[in-house]
Structure 1
Amino acid sequence: MKTLTLILLVLPFCIFSQNMDNEKLDTIYTTVSDSIQGNPGAWQFFVKEIPLMCITDTNHNRMRIISPIADSNSLSDELIKAALVANFHTALDVKYAVSDGVLWSVFIHPLKELSENQVKDAVSQVYYAHINFGTTFASTALTFPGRINSRDDDVEKKKEQPKFKKL
């Protein structure tokens, strides 16, 4: 019984003691990017020629990884609607968002609670949401809940009119 009590007391500290910080993020971004610039708390880096940025607020335990995709004013209503549907089904941990006239792929999370693997996965998802905008709108191969995309359609046709199968 004493062992079980000790495990129950210690386990939450093991699970939630990730303590991600700007120094760790800097190391991660340096290893996963092709090039990087900026200062701890405000980085711009490239992954396969796609620009990504990370901004942290250590006082409020927040961070976001973002990638600019397009001028939001140039997007059709169908593409905007498709992005909103993707936020539910295929964007997973990232979302499509509009701010200051730009469409972004965005990952937002509490900073300290992140693990190294979660940060790497977040970079990957922001990257893939960026490059898949207008086609599959996917940030990973996984879809939720079990959504099936038609991959036989021509990519250009999908960009003009996103198609989604009814559930």
Structure 2
Amino acid sequence: MPRFLPALLPALALCLAVPFATAQQTDAPEAPPEAAAEPPMTLQRMAEIIRAIDPEAQPAGGAIQFTIDDIPVVVIADAAANRMRAMVPIRSAGGLTSAELMRLMQANFDTALDARYAVAQGRLWGVFIHPLSSLEKDQLLSAFVQTINVARTYGQTYSGGATVFGGGDSNGIYQELLEDLQKRGEEI
């Protein structure tokens, strides 16, 4: 485990009890059936999705560490706070110039999309932060793609990769990665 991770790993709760609202029956005519609603995201469900992506995923302290395309990803979640964070280490934050920091802030505004560049514990990270219970599976997979892409494109396009304008090849590459992750977790 990289030596900078232990300082960032808060306690990961073991389970999340999510109350389900029950619909009351009425005498109104039946509405057409809708697609089955996706269940709320829980720590257990998130761990199952991650294990479908990387069967060698490992709990580390209060987080789950795994790898996608040889890139380490760390997910920290807190059911009590209803938050999750997916993180990809990029580099040491030492030596970042004011021009580089300005470029990171610009990318956070327009090209990083839902992922963000962040500095913590002396390190530059690609991060995605979201409420846990409302997170859908495809949003989680997109979070992984975007955090990986902000790490990959650091120093170049600084892009989360979910939306790319122009006629280049980047969007196809990002879409292939998203589709691959979706296929690995189809049953979840």
TM range (shorter): 0.7 to 0.9
Give percent identity, aligned residues only: 32
Is 1:125 equivalent to 2:169 in the alignment?
no
Equivalent runs, 1:1-167 vs 2, <5 Å: 2-3=28-29, 18-33=39-54, 35-38=56-59, 42-142=63-163
What is the CA distance between 1:36 and its match in structure 2? 1.4
Q: Distance in 2 between matches of 1:34 and 1:49?
A: 14
**Contact preservation (8 Å) 2:113, 2:162:** no
SS of the counterpart of 1:74?
A: coil
Q: Distance in 1 between matches of 2:154 and 2:133?
A: 30
Where does structure 1 differ by over 4 angstroms across 4 or more consecutive aligned residues?
Answer: none
Q: Distance in 2 between matches of 1:97 and 1:88?
A: 13
Instruction: Provide structure 2 residue ranges, at least 5 long, that are not aligned to the other structure.
Output: 1-27, 170-188
TM, length-normalised to structure 1: 0.73
Q: Distance in 2 between matches of 1:128 and 1:31?
A: 20
Q: Distance in 1 between matches of 2:146 and 2:111?
A: 10
Q: Distance in 2 between matches of 1:128 and 1:39?
A: 23
**Contact preservation (8 Å) 1:62, 1:110:** yes
Instruction: Provide structure 1 residue ranges, at least 5 long, that are not aligned to the other structure.
Output: 152-167
**Contact preservation (8 Å) 1:72, 1:98:** yes
Q: Which has the higher helix share?
A: 1
SS of the counterpart of 1:20?
A: coil
The number of residue pairs the alignment matches comes to 141
Q: Distance in 2 between matches of 1:42 and 1:29?
A: 12
Change (3 A) 1:40 1:120: farther
| Aligned AA (1:26) | A
**Contact preservation (8 Å) 1:22, 1:41:** no
TM, length-normalised to structure 2: 0.65
What is the CA distance between 1:134 and its match in structure 2? 0.7
CA RMSD of aligned residues (A): 2.9
**Contact preservation (8 Å) 2:87, 2:126:** yes
